[in-house]
A = this chain, B = another copy of it.
Amino acid sequence: MSVDGTEEFTRAPRTTPTRYRERATWERAAIRAILDEGYLCHLGFVVDGAPVVLPTLYARVGDRLYIHGSTGSRPLRSADADPGMPVCLTVTLVDGLVLTRSAFNHSVNFRSVVAHGTAHRVTDPQERAVALDALVNQAVPGRAADCRPANERELAATAVVRLDLDEVSAKIRADGADDDEEDLDLPYWAGVIPVRTVHDTPVPDPALASDHPLPGYLGERH
C-alpha cells in the first residue's frame, strides 16, 4: 500500500527515464485495466545471452498472467526447469499519434504494461484448465464455454506457463500536442490522430451451416 492508500505492485527498477507527459504507475487497478483490454503480448526471454521477443496471446487471472504454446517450443521448455525462466512480458495499446509543430515533440498516446519476473510451467490440471479457458476468453470473451474443450492428446501437447504479477508497472500517455511555447505560431498543423483496434463483423467458416446463428457473445462485442 502506498501513502495515498492506493494498492500498488512492487516498483520495478527503472530501465528508461519517464518521458515528458508520460505517466508511470504501479496501481493495481490501472495495470489490470490495461491488461484486460488486450490479448496480445510480447514475451522477452534470453537465449544464449541474447534477447528474443516473440508475440503471443496471454490471459490475466487475478494477479497472474498465463501464456501457452507447444510443449516442443524452446522457450516454454526453459520454463520447465527449476528455477524457471526469467521473462519480460509487455502489453501495449496505442491510442493516438500526437503531431506537434516541432518534429522533436511528436509523440504517441499509449498505455503499456511491463511485467518482469520468472515464468514457471503449470502442471496442476485444475490450474491448467482455468488458464486455457482464460486464454480463449481473453481474446473472445464468452468463447471458452462455447467450443469443445481440449482432449487428453491436445492437453499433453500444450504447455501452460505462469508469470505472477509482482514486479510490474504501467506507462500511460493520454494528452494532446505538447509544443514548446515559442513554436505555437509556426504554420504547421498540430493535434492528435486517434488510433484504435477494430473487430469487424465475424466471417463464418464456409463449412458452417448457412443458418447457423452468430453467438451472442460475438454480436455483443463486434
Contacts and interface: CB of A to CB of B under 8 A. Distances in A.
Given A15-B54, A16-B73, A53-B114, A99 B143 contact: yes
A202 interface: yes
A52 B88 contact: yes
A33 interface: no
A73 B19 CA distance: 10
B54 A99 contact: no
Contact of A45 (B51, B86, B198): B51
Given A154-B104, A200-B193, A55 B147 contact: no
A182 to B, nearest CB: 10
Given A191-B204, A192-B203, 8 more contacts: A99-B143, A101-B148, A103-B136, A106-B147, A189-B202, A189-B212, A190-B204, A194-B199
28 contacts: A17-B70, A40-B92, A42-B44, A43-B53, A44-B51, A44-B53, A46-B50, A51-B52, A51-B87, A53-B114, A55-B90, A55-B92, A97-B139, A102-B154, A103-B136, A103-B148, A103-B150, A140-B193, A176-B206, A190-B208, A191-B202, A191-B205, A192-B205, A193-B202, A194-B199, A195-B197, A196-B197, A196-B198
Interface of A: 15-17, 19, 40, 42-47, 49-55, 57, 69-70, 72-75, 86-90, 92, 94, 97, 99-104, 106, 108, 110, 112, 114, 116, 132-133, 136, 139-140, 143-144, 146-151, 154, 158, 176-177, 179, 183-184, 186, 188-208, 212-215, 218, 222
